Chains A and B, each alone.
Chain A
Amino acid sequence: MRAALRVFAAEGLKQHRRIFGSKLVVFSMLLWPVLTLATTYYTVLPVTEAPGAADRWPLVAQPGRLLAFLAAGALAYTFFFSLVQSAWHFSWERVSGTLEAMFLTPASRMALVLANGSSALVQNAWLFGCFGIAAAVATGTLHLAHPGMLAVAALALLVPAVAWGAFLNSLLMFSRDSAFLYTLLDDPLWFIAGVRLPLFALPVWITAIGLAFPLTTSLVVLRGALLDGKDVGDLAGQFAFLAGLSAVLLGLTALLLRVGERHAQRTGSLQLF
């Protein structure tokens, strides 16, 4: 356990120095999401003003709530995407030759990949804070059953996100091409997870694929808890699903790490780039 904690501390320090300590992170974590959010809001605005739109989606009757709905999506998406980004940085360990060194140490492999994702999230906690303050200032948008739901919502975002990040990192054991992460998980991810549209607007088959991505359900919980005043009882089904999905992702991670390491030992691929 102490060894694992040291891995977490070291990984956190490394990421702070390499990525999140830099002032440039304000662009990717705050400026871009805010501008993209405004673009999305204005893009769907004409449709929500159509006659009868409020019958199909009651939320659009109040522009403030529509904005809050999209903002919650942007927040959760930025959170998850920061994990894609740290997985992408993890692939540089291979380029710079330190991936092999990491696998020569006795450090737990699982601790390594978990630390990679969770330190990204801890360092992005300020983003969650900014959102909370913005939502609280825009009165009438934040609608909590009780204050504890804020912590519950944060947890429903954090735990699946860490499992997702660990899973992405374990995938990189097999591939030297990390560009696919960016191409495949940037735009398609917001589309299928209901980041910019309510899930009912998506065709059934897209919703079905979307369920495999924890962001989809995390977002349902986040919006339910923060904007619709739902409590733990109302969201029990989603919690159970998220817990199951996280467990499956972590199980897959453990499996992929083991198979990947054995594969790498046989082929010597960890030092290839």
Chain B
Amino acid sequence: MATALPTLRRNWLVTMRAYQWTYFVGTLATGILTVGLAYLAFHAIGGGRAGGGFAAAAGTADYLGYVTVGAAASMFSVRMVLWVAKAQITEQREGTLESQVLAPARRLPYLIGVGLQALTTTVVEVVVMLAFAIMIGVRLPAPDPVTLLAAFVAASVAVFGISVPLSAIMISVGEAHITQNTLFVAMGLLCGFTFPPGYLPDPLRWLGEALPITSALRALRAATLEHAPLSAAAPDLLLCLALGLAYLAVGLRLLGPAERIAIQRGGSA
């Protein structure tokens, strides 16, 4: 707590002073345009309907609802990964990674502080996007509040979990742009944000299952679109939590060696 809360506060100050609108507009545009694309295609090409294969693969016939929940989850995941995974390489670029290593603060609370700040900003962005979706006529049924809350927690653990090994990769190779965007386009294809992963060839589908976001999305959709009780979503929630914690554990193990490599290589990130 002694590390997490001050980090949360510092990152809020940085966002409010330096990057108020850049991040906000960037994240929001991606979500809104994804829903917009689905909306236009649904009406102009599908004539307000999706093919029968979709309902079978997705478990719901509500194409727009499916894409909207996916777009919200996508904004959430991308933003969380960007903040948490890039926290340390940003410290390195700004020249404060050494100070971080010298300070007696532990890494996990520091990253949790970064994650909490990301969570608070992202929730605002997602709410604005959902308001847009409702405005253009997407109807989301009333969710099951307990399942939704559980899915939200599991999804947060999942994205936090995969961000930590990513952070280790970024500081050890001194590169963020290629690493982060490759992960994002892969996630977009594999995790089922905008279409059911059942459409993918089997090897890709299994690759998607290795990312905890895939199971988090199933739980989120069960809560929002199907009003599923907690027991129905439990297998996906447990899978998501287990995978997320496994990534987190591996990531925390890797951070120490990665920091050593980063500092030996010097300040050029």
Q: Mark A36-56, 1 if CB is under 8 A from B, else 0.
A: 101100111111111111001
Identify which of A6-14, A183-191, A255-263 touches chain B.
A183-191
CA A31 to CA B53, docked complex, whole Å: 28
Write out the residue numbers on chain B whose beta carbons fall within 8 Å of the beta carbon of A49: 50-54
Identify which of A120-128, A167-175, A197-205 touches chain B.
A197-205
Q: Does B83 contact A (CB under 8 A)?
A: no
CA A246 to CA B54, docked complex, whole Å: 43
In the complex, which of the residues A28, A43, A198, A200 contacts B38, with contact meaning CB atoms closer than 8 Å?
A43
In the complex, which of the residues B45, B46, B185, B195 contacts A42, with contact meaning CB atoms closer than 8 Å?
B195
Q: Say how far A187's CB is from chain B's closest CB, in angstroms.
A: 5
A197-B37 contact given A35-B188, A48-B46, CB 8 Å threshold: yes
CA A197 to CA B46, docked complex, whole Å: 12
CA A114 to CA B17, docked complex, whole Å: 37
In the complex, which of the residues B29, B46, B54, B58 contacts A188, with contact meaning CB atoms closer than 8 Å?
B29
Give the bracket for the number of chain A residues in contact with chain B. 35 or more
Q: Does A60 contact B (CB under 8 A)?
A: yes
In the complex, which of the residues B33, B53, B181, B185 contacts A46, with contact meaning CB atoms closer than 8 Å?
B53
CA A48 to CA B195, docked complex, whole Å: 13
B36–A39 touching, CB < 8 Å: no
Write out the residue numbers on chain A whose beta carbons fall within 8 Å of the beta carbon of B43: 201
Write out the residue numbers on chain B whose beta carbons fall within 8 Å of the beta carbon of A51: 47, 49, 51
In the complex, which of the residues B25, B33, B45, B52 contacts A56, with contact meaning CB atoms closer than 8 Å?
B45
B185–A50 touching, CB < 8 Å: no
A179–B188 touching, CB < 8 Å: no
A44-B41 contact given A35-B185, A187-B33, CB 8 Å threshold: yes
B44–A46 touching, CB < 8 Å: no
Q: Does B15 contact A (CB under 8 A)?
A: no
Q: Does B163 contact A (CB under 8 A)?
A: no
CA A43 to CA B26, docked complex, whole Å: 21
- The residue on B at minimum CB distance from A195 is B37
B194–A187 touching, CB < 8 Å: no
In the complex, which of the residues A36, A44, A53 contacts B188, with contact meaning CB atoms closer than 8 Å?
A36
Write out the residue numbers on chain A whose beta carbons fall within 8 Å of the beta carbon of B189: 35-36, 38-39, 42
Interface core residue of B38, B53, B185 (most chain A CB under 10 Å): B185
A-B pairs, top 10 by smallest CB distance, nearest first, are A49-B51, A201-B44, A46-B54, A47-B46, A50-B46, A46-B50, A42-B195, A43-B194, A35-B185, A50-B49
Extra contacts, 7 of them, besides A31-B182, A35-B185, A46-B51 (Cβ < 8 A), are A27-B178, A31-B185, A32-B181, A44-B41, A47-B63, A52-B47, A187-B30
Q: What would be 27 A-B contacts, judged by CB atoms less than 8 Å apart?
A: A24-B178, A39-B188, A42-B189, A43-B67, A43-B195, A45-B51, A46-B58, A47-B42, A47-B51, A49-B52, A49-B53, A50-B47, A51-B49, A52-B47, A53-B51, A183-B26, A183-B29, A187-B29, A187-B33, A188-B29, A191-B36, A197-B44, A197-B45, A198-B44, A198-B45, A201-B43, A202-B40
